[in-house]
Amino acid sequence: MSDFIVFPKIHGLKIQRMVQDENHLLIYLQAVNSQDCCPECQQNSHRIHSRYTHLPGDLPCFGQKTQLILQVRRFVCINQSCKRKIFTERFTDLIQPHARTTIRLSKVQQQIGLLLGESRENSSPDF
């Protein structure tokens, strides 16, 4: 089965595994690049400082809640003059920095909000 049927191809990430239970589809993602670029000075670094797990919300898939489990690395900037000593790898095709949901879920939520706002404007006042 192709991963891209369920989840679009995201540059720099690969699906490690997918686990399905009665209520959830868990998608484990991991970076494939051995280095990343510092957002401050644009210097590439391969020195890993630490790792953490990020759990952004995503769109449902096949009627089930989808939970992404994203393994994220922190890198040490190797540029001695850079103000940012440690930086986190970014996956801007999937999620914006500091966001709790994927870009595609955010877009759907915005569209729903706009549609609900328009329908409320067109309805008669409740008072």
* pLDDT score at 7: 63
**Bridge partner list, 18:** 27
* The pLDDT value given to residue 39: 94
Spatial separation of the C-alpha atoms in residues 54 and 33, rounded to whole Å: 18
The confidence score (pLDDT) of residue 52 equals 95
Residue 56: which of 68, 43, 40, 39 has the closest Cα? Answer: 68
pLDDT in tens, the chain (127 residues): 444 455 666 778 899 999 988 888 899 999 989 999 999 999 999 999 999 999 999 988 878 899 999 999 999 999 999 999 999 999 888 899 889 999 989 999 899 988 888 776 666 565 5
pLDDT at 118: 77
* pTM score above 0.85: no
User: What pLDDT does 63 receive?
Assistant: 83
How far apart are alpha carbons 87 and 103 in whole angstroms? 21
The residue ranges of every structural domain in the chain are 3-121
CA–centroid distance for 126 within its chain: 40
pLDDT value of residue 4: 45
